[in-house]
Structure 1
Amino acid sequence: MTDSVQHGSAVLVHFTLKLADGSTAESTRSNGKPALFCLGDGSLSEGLENHLLGLPVGGKAAFALETVHAFGGVSPDLVQYFSRRDFIEAGEPDIGAIMLFSGMDGNEMPGVIRETSGDSTTVDFNNPLAGQTIHFDVEVLEIASVLKTRNADPVS
């Protein structure tokens, strides 16, 4: 265990994400299940990591991240149009529904159904929090050092 959050730390945290209107977008406190992140693995934005650096176990921080430092802006390239026939097996999707789609690489991607008009269904693959300032409330529960190992050649 280390004294404070550093680059390469594995950090167990409770967090609440709020939007500008004060509504809660997500909270680990509501389900009692903290989240585990590893700083430097690319899962967190640099802006968020910078606010966590130096916090001790039990440390709390409240801050806001602008769009560019949170979930990024809304990209029109991530809005796609599908034929309504593509949804025959799943059934007519409701506006606002989140559905999983298979990407070209075989990975699943969530998309939000934005509109159905004529034979076209509009699906938005932007993060639902993209384009918004996010207010964070974070509490560090545990910190561990993560050692990066290299593949070693076997000794003969």
Structure 2
Amino acid sequence: MFPAAQGDVVKLHYTGRLTSGEVFDASPADRPLQFVIGKKEVIPGFEQAVVGMVRGEKKTVTVAADQAYGQILPEKIEAVERSRIPKEVVLNIGGKLEVTQHDGSRFYFEVLAVTESTVTLDANHPLAGKDLIFDIEMLDVTKNPKCESLFPD
């Protein structure tokens, strides 16, 4: 057994919780998470937490908001004119609003407030500003020869 390092393919199970204890995500029992360390496929703090783990190891880590989804950015919160949103769209506080751009990309907003003339929307990630707790169980670590040249010693 060797510890997980840059360029390795890791396979693991995890459960993600908020500091309140509420579970926000978990790997399905039949489908562990698999990713290459260093390719930025997961949040930075989670990736750092698995570096050095070996097959069969379990641990619990707290990932600060800055190493997860970042802090809440006020510039991502904006009040828009209600008339810019189609009347048939139901707007509930706490609800999600999907907006499709001309290029086909999609953005999701949380509805923070609704008045007759404005709708306040938040484009921050729902987990922004939150410290996250992860229970991690390393199932496998595999050296990835394709990635060794990407991460020189």
TM-score norm. by structure 2 comes to 0.80
The amino acid of 1:118's aligned partner reads: E
Q: Secondary structure at the match of 1:16?
A: strand
Where structure 1 has 5 or more consecutive residues not aligned to the other structure, the ranges are 151-156
> Aligned to 2:57, which of 56, 59, 72?
59
The 5 Å alignment of 1:1-156 reads 3-29=2-28, 32-88=30-86, 91-103=89-101, 106-146=104-144, 147-148=146-147
Q: Could you say what the CA RMSD is over the residues aligned between the two structures, in angstroms? A: 2.5
Q: Secondary structure at the match of 1:94?
A: coil
Q: Secondary structure at the match of 1:11?
A: strand
The amino acid of 1:61's aligned partner reads: K
Question: Are the structure 2 counterparts of residues 115 and 6 from structure 1 closer, same or farther at C-alpha, using a change threshold of 3 Å?
Answer: same
Cα distance in structure 2, aligned partners of 1:144 and 1:86 = 51
The amino acid of 1:92's aligned partner reads: V
**Deviation of residue 141 (structure 1)?**
2.2
* Contact kept? 2:7, 2:148, Cα under 8 Å: no
**Deviation of residue 119 (structure 1)?**
1.9
Cα distance in structure 1, aligned partners of 2:3 and 2:73 = 36
Question: Are the structure 2 counterparts of residues 134 and 115 from structure 1 closer, same or farther at C-alpha, using a change threshold of 3 Å?
Answer: same
Provide the identity percentage: 22
Q: How many residues align?
A: 148
Q: Deviations over 1:5-25 (max 9, x none)?
A: 211122222111111111111
Q: Secondary structure at the match of 1:36?
A: strand
Question: Are the structure 2 counterparts of residues 63 and 27 from structure 1 closer, same or farther at C-alpha, using a change threshold of 3 Å?
Answer: same
Where structure 2 has 5 or more consecutive residues not aligned to the other structure, the ranges are none
Q: Secondary structure at the match of 1:57?
A: coil
